[in-house]
Protein backbone atom coordinates (compact mmCIF):
# COMPACT_ATOMS: atom_id res chain seq x y z
CA UNK A 1 0.00 0.00 0.00
CA UNK A 2 1.40 3.37 -1.03
CA UNK A 3 1.14 6.60 1.00
CA UNK A 4 -2.18 8.40 0.69
CA UNK A 5 -0.43 11.76 1.20
CA UNK A 6 2.62 13.32 -0.41
CA UNK A 7 3.89 14.17 3.09
CA UNK A 8 4.67 11.34 5.51
CA UNK A 9 5.60 11.54 9.20
CA UNK A 10 7.43 8.42 10.41
CA UNK A 11 7.55 7.96 14.19
CA UNK A 12 9.72 5.60 16.17
CA UNK A 13 7.83 4.36 19.24
CA UNK A 14 10.05 3.42 22.19
CA UNK A 15 11.66 6.44 23.81
CA UNK A 16 10.19 8.73 21.16
CA UNK A 17 6.46 8.41 21.77
CA UNK A 18 6.90 6.56 25.06
CA UNK A 19 8.99 7.37 28.11
CA UNK A 20 10.73 3.96 28.14
CA UNK A 21 10.97 0.59 26.42
CA UNK A 22 7.50 -0.77 25.72
CA UNK A 23 8.54 -4.36 24.97
CA UNK A 24 10.12 -4.79 28.39
CA UNK A 25 7.01 -3.24 29.95
CA UNK A 26 4.70 -5.51 27.93
CA UNK A 27 6.49 -8.69 28.96
CA UNK A 28 6.63 -7.65 32.63
CA UNK A 29 2.95 -6.70 32.56
CA UNK A 30 2.00 -9.96 30.85
CA UNK A 31 4.08 -12.63 32.61
CA UNK A 32 5.32 -10.93 35.79
CA UNK A 33 8.84 -10.31 37.11
CA UNK A 34 9.69 -13.94 38.00
CA UNK A 35 9.01 -15.31 34.53
CA UNK A 36 10.59 -12.21 32.96
CA UNK A 37 13.80 -12.87 34.89
CA UNK A 38 13.72 -16.59 34.07
CA UNK A 39 13.35 -15.82 30.36
CA UNK A 40 16.29 -13.43 30.60
CA UNK A 41 18.44 -16.15 32.18
CA UNK A 42 17.51 -18.72 29.54
CA UNK A 43 18.22 -16.27 26.74
CA UNK A 44 21.34 -14.88 28.45
CA UNK A 45 23.91 -16.30 25.99
CA UNK A 46 22.23 -14.55 23.07
CA UNK A 47 21.47 -11.37 25.03
CA UNK A 48 25.11 -11.14 26.12
CA UNK A 49 26.17 -11.86 22.55
CA UNK A 50 23.97 -9.00 21.37
CA UNK A 51 25.58 -6.65 23.89
CA UNK A 52 29.01 -7.70 22.61
CA UNK A 53 27.82 -7.38 18.99
CA UNK A 54 28.38 -11.08 18.43
CA UNK A 55 24.71 -11.97 18.07
CA UNK A 56 22.04 -10.36 15.91
CA UNK A 57 19.55 -8.20 17.82
CA UNK A 58 16.61 -9.97 16.27
CA UNK A 59 17.90 -13.42 17.18
CA UNK A 60 18.45 -12.36 20.80
CA UNK A 61 15.04 -10.70 21.04
CA UNK A 62 13.26 -13.72 19.57
CA UNK A 63 15.04 -16.03 22.01
CA UNK A 64 13.95 -13.95 24.99
CA UNK A 65 10.35 -13.72 23.80
CA UNK A 66 10.23 -17.45 23.06
CA UNK A 67 10.98 -18.22 26.70
CA UNK A 68 8.82 -15.42 28.11
CA UNK A 69 5.67 -16.08 26.07
CA UNK A 70 5.89 -19.87 25.87
CA UNK A 71 2.54 -21.57 26.41
CA UNK A 72 0.40 -18.49 25.71
CA UNK A 73 -2.30 -19.07 23.09
CA UNK A 74 -3.09 -16.51 20.37
CA UNK A 75 -6.23 -15.51 22.28
CA UNK A 76 -4.23 -15.00 25.47
CA UNK A 77 -1.64 -12.91 23.63
CA UNK A 78 -4.42 -10.77 22.16
CA UNK A 79 -6.06 -10.24 25.56
CA UNK A 80 -2.71 -9.40 27.11
CA UNK A 81 -2.04 -6.85 24.34
CA UNK A 82 -5.43 -5.20 24.78
CA UNK A 83 -4.99 -4.99 28.55
CA UNK A 84 -1.44 -3.64 28.23
CA UNK A 85 -2.53 -0.88 25.86
CA UNK A 86 -5.44 0.12 28.12
CA UNK A 87 -3.39 0.22 31.31
CA UNK A 88 0.41 0.24 31.48
CA UNK A 89 1.12 1.56 27.98
CA UNK A 90 -1.38 4.39 28.34
CA UNK A 91 0.72 5.73 31.22
CA UNK A 92 3.96 5.52 29.23
CA UNK A 93 2.88 7.64 26.27
CA UNK A 94 4.16 11.22 26.08
CA UNK A 95 1.16 13.59 25.63
CA UNK A 96 3.23 16.06 23.61
CA UNK A 97 4.05 13.38 21.05
CA UNK A 98 0.42 12.40 20.65
CA UNK A 99 -0.26 16.09 20.09
CA UNK A 100 2.46 16.15 17.40
CA UNK A 101 0.84 13.16 15.70
CA UNK A 102 -2.49 14.95 15.72
CA UNK A 103 -0.87 18.07 14.25
CA UNK A 104 0.43 16.06 11.32
CA UNK A 105 -2.97 14.42 10.86
CA UNK A 106 -4.70 17.82 10.92
CA UNK A 107 -2.47 18.85 8.00
CA UNK A 108 -3.48 15.67 6.12
CA UNK A 109 0.00 14.18 6.46
CA UNK A 110 0.13 10.39 6.66
CA UNK A 111 1.51 9.23 9.99
CA UNK A 112 3.38 5.92 10.09
CA UNK A 113 4.67 4.02 13.11
CA UNK A 114 8.11 2.44 12.46
CA UNK A 115 9.31 0.38 15.41
CA UNK A 116 11.39 -2.58 16.52
CA UNK A 117 8.68 -3.44 19.03
CA UNK A 118 6.08 -6.03 18.00
CA UNK A 119 2.95 -5.27 16.06
CA UNK A 120 1.17 -7.54 18.58
CA UNK A 121 0.27 -4.47 20.66
CA UNK A 122 1.50 -1.60 18.48
CA UNK A 123 -1.38 -1.98 16.03
CA UNK A 124 -3.87 -1.74 18.88
CA UNK A 125 -2.27 1.46 20.18
CA UNK A 126 -1.87 2.92 16.68
CA UNK A 127 -5.55 2.41 15.93
CA UNK A 128 -6.44 4.33 19.10
CA UNK A 129 -4.72 7.47 17.71
CA UNK A 130 -5.80 7.06 14.10
CA UNK A 131 -2.57 5.62 12.68
CA UNK A 132 -3.33 3.10 9.97
CA UNK A 133 0.18 2.04 8.94
CA UNK A 134 2.44 0.14 11.36
CA UNK A 135 5.84 -1.07 10.16
CA UNK A 136 7.25 -3.12 13.01
CA UNK A 137 8.67 -6.43 14.11
CA UNK A 138 6.19 -9.20 13.32
CA UNK A 139 5.93 -12.22 15.62
CA UNK A 140 5.21 -15.53 13.93
CA UNK A 141 2.11 -16.76 15.76
CA UNK A 142 0.44 -20.05 14.90
CA UNK A 143 -2.47 -21.89 16.56
CA UNK A 144 -0.32 -22.71 19.59
CA UNK A 145 1.06 -19.21 20.06
CA UNK A 146 4.41 -17.53 19.37
CA UNK A 147 6.67 -19.91 17.44
CA UNK A 148 9.89 -18.27 18.60
CA UNK A 149 10.52 -16.75 15.18
CA UNK A 150 9.91 -13.40 13.52
CA UNK A 151 8.24 -12.92 10.16
CA UNK A 152 10.94 -11.03 8.32
CA UNK A 153 13.61 -9.02 10.12
CA UNK A 154 13.67 -7.18 13.40
CA UNK A 155 12.58 -3.64 12.46
CA UNK A 156 15.63 -1.76 13.74
CA UNK A 157 18.24 0.51 12.16
CA UNK A 158 18.57 -0.01 8.38
CA UNK A 159 15.50 -2.24 8.38
CA UNK A 160 13.33 0.79 9.21
CA UNK A 161 14.35 2.43 5.94
CA UNK A 162 13.84 -0.81 4.01
CA UNK A 163 10.32 -1.12 5.44
CA UNK A 164 9.46 2.45 4.48
CA UNK A 165 10.81 1.99 0.96
CA UNK A 166 8.89 -1.26 0.52
CA UNK A 167 5.73 0.46 1.74
CA UNK A 168 5.90 3.40 -0.65
CA UNK A 169 6.98 1.02 -3.44
CA UNK A 170 8.83 3.47 -5.66
CA UNK A 171 6.52 6.41 -4.95
CA UNK A 172 8.58 8.28 -2.37
CA UNK A 173 6.57 11.04 -0.68
CA UNK A 174 7.44 14.62 -1.53
CA UNK A 175 8.52 15.13 2.09
CA UNK A 176 9.43 12.70 4.84
CA UNK A 177 9.48 13.73 8.50
CA UNK A 178 11.21 11.30 10.88
CA UNK A 179 11.05 11.24 14.67
CA UNK A 180 13.41 9.12 16.77
CA UNK A 181 15.53 8.94 19.88
CA UNK A 182 18.33 6.41 19.48
CA UNK A 183 20.93 4.63 17.38
CA UNK A 184 18.17 2.45 15.94
CA UNK A 185 16.66 5.51 14.26
CA UNK A 186 19.86 6.86 12.68
CA UNK A 187 19.25 5.53 9.19
CA UNK A 188 15.63 6.64 9.15
CA UNK A 189 16.67 10.14 10.25
CA UNK A 190 19.33 10.26 7.52
CA UNK A 191 16.75 9.31 4.89
CA UNK A 192 14.30 12.02 5.97
CA UNK A 193 13.88 15.55 4.66
CA UNK A 194 13.18 16.74 8.20
CA UNK A 195 14.49 14.70 11.13
CA UNK A 196 14.08 15.19 14.86
CA UNK A 197 15.97 13.14 17.43
CA UNK A 198 15.02 13.48 21.08
CA UNK A 199 17.56 15.58 22.97
CA UNK A 200 18.68 17.50 19.88
CA UNK A 201 16.51 20.60 19.98
CA UNK A 202 12.87 21.58 19.64
CA UNK A 203 10.32 19.81 17.48
CA UNK A 204 10.43 21.11 13.88
CA UNK A 205 7.89 23.59 12.58
CA UNK A 206 5.00 22.18 10.58
CA UNK A 207 4.28 25.13 8.30
CA UNK A 208 4.28 22.88 5.24
Q: What is the CATH number of the domain that holds 166?
A: 3.40.50.1000
**pLDDT surpassing 90 at residue 74:** yes
Phi and psi of 168, rounded to 5°? -85, -10
Q: Is 207 part of a structural domain of the chain?
A: no
Domain membership flag for residue 150: yes
Nearest-5° Cα angle at 126, 113 to 203: 55
Task: Please give the mean pLDDT across all residues of the chain.
Answer: 93
Q: Is residue 190 part of a domain?
A: yes
How many domains does the chain fold into? 1
E strand residue ranges, the chain? 7-11, 110-118, 133-142, 145-151, 175-180, 194-197
Residue 57: pLDDT band (50, 70, 90) is confident
pLDDT of residue 2: 64
pTM exceeding the 0.95 threshold for the entire prediction: no
Percent of the chain with pLDDT over 70: 97
The DSSP symbol for 19 reads S
In a domain, 126, yes or no: yes
- Is residue 13 over pLDDT 90? yes
203 part of a folded domain = no
Residue 116, domain extent? 7-197
Burial 68-98 (b: 16+ CB within 10 A, else e): bbeebeeeebeebbeebbeeebeebbeeebe
Is residue 88 one of the residues assigned to a domain?
yes
What is the per-residue pLDDT across 83-109, written as a single tens digit (0 to 9) for each?
999 999 999 999 999 999 999 999 999
Residue 208 lies in a domain: no
Residue 175 has phi, psi (to 5 degrees) of -145, 135
Residue 1 has pLDDT above 70, yes or no: no
Residues of the chain above pLDDT 90, percent: 83
At residue 23 the predicted structure's pLDDT band, cuts being 50, 70 and 90, is very high
Q: Is residue 85 part of a domain?
A: yes
Amino acid sequence: MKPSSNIVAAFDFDGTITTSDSLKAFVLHTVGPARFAAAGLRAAPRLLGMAARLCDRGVAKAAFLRHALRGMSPAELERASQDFCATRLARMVRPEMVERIRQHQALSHEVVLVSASPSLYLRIWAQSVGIGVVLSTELDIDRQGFTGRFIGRNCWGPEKVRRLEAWWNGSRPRMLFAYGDSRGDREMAAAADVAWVRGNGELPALDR
